[in-house]
Amino acid sequence: MLLLSFQSQTSFSQEEYSTKSKKAIKLFQSAMQKYDSRLDTEAIAELDNAIAIDNKFIEAYILKANIYHDNKKYLEEINEYNRAINIDSAFSPKTYLFVAEAELNIGMYKESKDHLTYFLTLDKIKASLKAQAEDKLSRAEYGYKSSLHPVDFKPVNLGSNINSEYDEYWPSLTADEEFMFITRQIPSNPNERVTHTGMQEDFYISKKNYYDWTLAKNMGKPINTPNNEGALCISPDGMYVFYTVCNRPEDFGSCDIYYSKIIGDIWTVPQNVGTPVNSEYWESNPSFSSDGKTLYYVSNRPGGNGLMDIWSAEIVNVSPMGKISWSVPQNLSDTINTINNEIAPFIHPDNSTLYFSSDGHVGMGGLDIFYTKRDSLGNWSATQNVGFPINTFSDERGLIVNAQGNYAYFASNRDSKNGLDIYGFELYENARPTLVTYVKGFIYDSLSKERLHAKFELMDLETSETLISSNSNEINGEYLVCLPINKNYAFNASKDGYMFYSENFSLKDMTDPSKPYTLNIPLLPIKEDVKIVLKNIFYETNKYQLKPESKAELTKLLEFMNKNSKVKIEISGHTDNIGNQAYNQSLSENRAKTVYEYLLENNIPKERVSYKGYNFSEPIASNNTEEGRAQNRRTEFKIISIE
């Protein structure tokens, strides 16, 4: 736009130049030819010579400004435009728009605001230029106001164990903050002189050692290759990585998203995510939700709002071989995506707060970091700028926030002698997500102690909604899930050949979310006389009517019976010792009968189920404490026989 505008205002006959010097005009025309040939240094020299002949040669100053703009030398650009304006403020009104843009590019918000305000008072401005000026004015005003009211921000360089002499960017964390993954730009051939074209991107990983990060190590094969890999995200549970790969012959488009799963401590051979997530266009910047269901990413495919948009796709199936099938991608929201660029999404482990970068929303200039929150109906709130000085007139991208929501990381070249480095900082209160913690542990055989690859589910006790359905690690049986605090949860685990396990716990009174809720799960092999407590069966006080919170557990019991069709069971009711024996016998029997009737109503044959009340005759804890009595008030199911 600058070049076209400049050419239109300088394609005059010799008499119409602002100078009468033929020699200066000849030098200027020579500079134009060199500029068209991208010989910028020679063009500047010719223009300086022309200005030396006539220091009021306005076109020469404007062309110099244009050349500096192309080379991102914005301060020099501003100086040349101001010299042209000082000679004749009416010579080219568009110069005010151009100098304001340059001022915006280096954070001179007040000066930019003043030039734009004046430009908009001029007559006969084209509608397109007026729209540009109004957009830039809103940004200049926002930048000026924000710079007067900075948010709390004290970035700390993560040091030489994470950062190197090369560029580091796109950090990613596991939910427990035990591992950090980064993208590092390294020489393609360490034995050759380093040039920009001789660099490639690889992933590095660092482990948290108390309060420090260990030396980041190359992830190696099969993730890293001699080609470029970038913008990796680790799933919060550490089980999957998704990342961007570009310009491979087998890809669908110019850049595609790949994924790999960890088995034990070995990453599987990466696979292309495939269609419909990847397309013939550009896909990059993946971020995977903590519930293991949704992939957020960036694409310039048709159907979006602008240049680059944020999209999402849901997992609909995972084959026994680990191949993931995806839903048709959805453009995220008009409140998020604009006609310009939205990139670098990060969905926080709270699964409702999204951070991203945009040059379409009003900000400080370039790409700014924004956040939005999703409500219970799935609607995204109006975007919020994270503020100055987190955002500056430069590009900011790649922000991630820890599970607790109080600490963030991003890449920046501020105060760094080695290009882009990873920085950490305490995130101010208003920009924080919902506070979450994590539950971690492992699943194992209760008899042999062997670690098990098993299915587990976490549910909201109040709504019976399944929040997470996943599997423990195939080798070490470990799992990790993120959960918002201030809720009650049901947990169950199951595996073919084993009794299912159920548990419930509360995160309502958690005082230190940084400390995880640890839950190691023993699974009992299915045998005669084996019994387990149905910990998520709940009754009204002193009654046998089931509470709604029991629905998830009843469903799990029904699934067990349908899957193990040769098993016969007894539903057993137990009470504490408060009250007389007759009362407790009736209560325990009726409670067991309620579960029994549920199974019959759901087509379990009567011959496979019986029930019995045991009153307080079989305590599993002391009846002298409330905690013990609560354990004794229970419903069990026992294997009677296996045909």
CA distances from 620 to 103, 224, 553 (A): 75, 54, 21
Average pLDDT in the 591-618 region?
96
CB crowding 341-373: b at 16 or more within 10 Å, else e: bbbbbbbbbbbbbbbbbbbbbbbbbbbbbbbbb
Cβ contacts of 363 within 8 Å, gap of 6 or more: 139, 142, 143, 370, 385, 391
For the chain, residues classed under CATH 2.60.40.2190 are: 435-525
The stretch 224-252 carries a mean pLDDT of 88
- For 187-217, write each residue's pLDDT tens digit: 876 655 444 557 888 999 999 988 899 999 9
The mean pLDDT value of the chain amounts to 91
| CA–centroid distance for 318 within its chain | 22
User: In terms of DSSP bridges, do strands 240-246 and 455-460 run parallel, antiparallel, or are they unpaired?
Assistant: unpaired
At residue 416, the pLDDT reads: 61
Strands 271-272 vs 255-263: parallel, antiparallel or unpaired: antiparallel
Q: What's the CA angle centered on 52, arms 49 and 54, to 5 degrees?
A: 115
Q: What is the mean pLDDT of residues 239-263?
A: 89
pLDDT digits (tens, 9 = 90+) for 345-364: 999 999 999 999 999 999 99
Residue entry with tokens 């269609």: 275
Average pLDDT over residues 89-111: 94
Cα atoms in the Cβ-side hemisphere of radius 13 Å centred on 345: 34
Distance in angstroms (rounded) separating the CA atoms of residues 245 and 231: 9
Residue entry with tokens 């999703």: 374
Quote the strand ranges of 147-239, DSSP E.
156-157, 168-173, 179-187, 199-209, 212-213, 217-218, 229-234
Architecture per CATH, domain 532-643, reads as 2-Layer Sandwich (3.30)
Within 10 angstroms of residue 335's Cβ, the number of other Cβ atoms is 13
Of residues 503, 641, 513, 624, the one with CA closest to residue 569: 641
Partnered with residue 314 across adjacent β-strands are 294
Q: For residues 571 and 638, what is the distance between their CA atoms, to the nearest angstrom?
A: 7
- How many Cβ atoms are within 10 Å of 22's Cβ, its own excluded? 11
Other beta carbons less than 10 A from residue 241's beta carbon: 25
Considering only residues 319 and 635, tell me which one the structure prediction assigns the higher pLDDT. Answer: 635
Residue 73 reports pLDDT greater than 90: yes
- What's the pLDDT score for residue 191? 58
pLDDT of 6 over the 70 cut: no
- What distance in Å separates the CA atoms of residue 444 and residue 451, rounded to the nearest whole number? 4
Fill in the DSSP letter of residue 379.
Answer: P
For residue 484, whether the previous peptide bond is cis, meaning omega lies within 30 degrees of 0, is no
Looking at residues 433-441, what average pLDDT do you find?
Answer: 90
- The model's pLDDT over 589-604, given as tens digits with 9 standing for 90+, comes to 999 999 999 999 999 9
Nearest to 399 by CA among 72, 187, 169, 612: 169
Nearest partner of 596 among 618, 570, 615, 574, judged by Cα: 570
CA distance 24 to 14: 11
| Cβ atoms within 10 Å of 589's Cβ, excluding its own | 19
CB atoms within 10 A of CB 269: 9
CA angle (509, 351, 217) in 5-degree steps: 100
DSSP 409-457: EEEE-TT-SSSSEEEEEEPPGGG----EEEEEEEEEETTT--B---EEE
> What pLDDT, on a 0 to 100 scale, did the predictor assign at position 588?
95
**In whole angstroms, what separates CA 284 from the centre of its chain?**
12
Residue 15, pLDDT score: 53
Q: Rounded distance, CA 490 to CA 463, Å?
A: 11
The answer to whether 19 and 54 are in contact (CB under 8 A) is yes
- The class (CATH top level) of 2-148 is mainly alpha
Q: What confidence tens digit (pLDDT) does each residue in 315-347 have?
A: 998 887 778 899 999 999 999 999 999 999 999
pLDDT at 13: 45
The CA distance from 7 to 35, in Å, is 12
Residue 37 half-sphere exposure, CB side, CA atoms within 13 Å? 11
Q: How large is the average pLDDT for residues 14-33?
A: 90
Q: Which of 341, 312, 339, 304 is nearest to 328 (CA)?
A: 312
3-state DSSP call for residue 469?
A: strand
Predicted TM-score (pTM) of the model is 0.85
Cα maximum dimension of the chain:
118
Nearest of 368, 369, 299 to residue 332 by alpha carbon: 299
User: Which burial class, exposed, middle or buried, applies to 327 when counting CB atoms under 10 A from its CB (0-12, 13-18, 19+)?
Assistant: middle
Closest by Cα among 223, 268, 259 to 475: 268
Indicate where the chain has its CATH 3.30.1330.60 domain(s): 532-643
Q: Enumerate the CATH 1.25.40.10 domain ranges in the chain, comma separated.
A: 2-148
Which class is 167-188+197-431 in CATH? mainly beta
One-letter amino acid at 406 equals N
User: 7 falls in which pLDDT band (50, 70, 90)?
Assistant: very low
The b/e string for 87-96 (b: 16+ C-beta within 10 A; e otherwise) is eeeeebbbbb
CATH 2.120.10.30 maps onto the chain at 167-188+197-431
The more confident residue out of 8 and 144 is: 144
Identify the CATH number of the domain defined by range 435-525: 2.60.40.2190
CA distance 215 to 206: 6
Greater model confidence, 124 or 69: 69
Report how far apart, in Å, the C-alpha atoms of 605 and of each of 302, 460, 562, 567, 610 are.
54, 30, 10, 11, 10
Rounded to whole angstroms, the Cα distance separating 197 from 563 reads 58
